[in-house]
Amino acid sequence: MKKQNLGRRRSEQLTYRFRFEDEVKGPSFASGRIAVVGPCASGKSTLVAKLCRRGIDAYSVAQEHSNINHMYLRGQPDYVVYLDISREEMMNRKSKRDANRLQMQNKRLAKARGDADLILDTGQLDAAEACTRVLDFLKGRHQSGE
């Protein structure tokens, strides 16, 4: 009985997680490789999935779990996108125990945040808005020749 309930919950979570439709057309420009970093529950996996569906070479880095402060550079990104989240928003998305770890995660992410080409507060944006901001940033970089 418990396995059936867990399966349903997991199925509901997957349905929720991937329910977003493609609202933005794919880029008509070369975007480069994007590293997405940020604390737990900031939306890294969701953003990367949305970007990849649009043909963007993006990957998520679990930098917040590592004391290697330059781990996000191992994939040789052209751009670093940092997703920020408040403690309150993290508590809404994850447990209080995880939110209590935010200070440690922010310390581990300090170099990545400092090197970020774009910083987004995902507590203020939904997944579609975050994706649109990244695409707009990339388009602006392409148009300026950077």
Q: How many CB atoms lie within 10 A of CB 85?
A: 25
Instruction: Look at residue 5 and tell me if it is in a domain.
Output: no
pLDDT at 98: 67
User: Is 83 within 8 Å of 118 (Cβ atoms)?
Assistant: no
Whole-angstrom distance, CA of residue 18 vs CA of residue 106: 27
pTM higher than the cut 0.85: no
Instruction: Look at residue 45 and tell me if it is in a domain.
Output: yes
pLDDT at 145: 67
Instruction: Look at residue 21 and tell me if it is in a domain.
Output: no
Instruction: Look at residue 136 and tell me if it is in a domain.
Output: yes
pLDDT at 90: 79
Whole-angstrom distance, CA of residue 134 vs CA of residue 81: 8
Considering its fold, how many domains does the chain have in total?
1
Q: Which residues of the chain have pLDDT under 70?
A: 1-30, 95-96, 98-99, 145-146
Instruction: Look at residue 122 and tell me if it is in a domain.
Output: yes
Mean pLDDT, the chain, integer: 77
Instruction: Look at residue 17 and tell me if it is in a domain.
Output: no
pLDDT at 41: 87
Range of the domain at 92: 32-144
By residue count, the chain amounts to 146
| Model pLDDT for residues 97-128, shown as the tens digit of each residue | 766 788 888 888 999 999 999 999 998 899 99
pLDDT at 16: 32
What is the per-residue DSSP string for 44-110?
Answer: HHHHHHHHHHTT-EEEE--GGG-S-TTGGGTT--SEEEEEE--HHHHHHHS-HHHHTTHHHHHHHTH
pLDDT at 124: 87
Q: What is the CATH number of the domain that holds 93?
A: 3.40.50.300
What separation in angstroms does the CA of 115 have from each of 77, 82, 112? 11, 9, 5
User: Is 71 within 8 Å of 30 (Cβ atoms)?
Assistant: no
Opening angle at CA 17, ends 134 and 89, nearest 5: 70
Instruction: Look at residue 110 and tell me if it is in a domain.
Output: yes
pLDDT at 11: 34
Instruction: Look at residue 67 and tell me if it is in a domain.
Output: yes
Amino acid symbol at 132: T
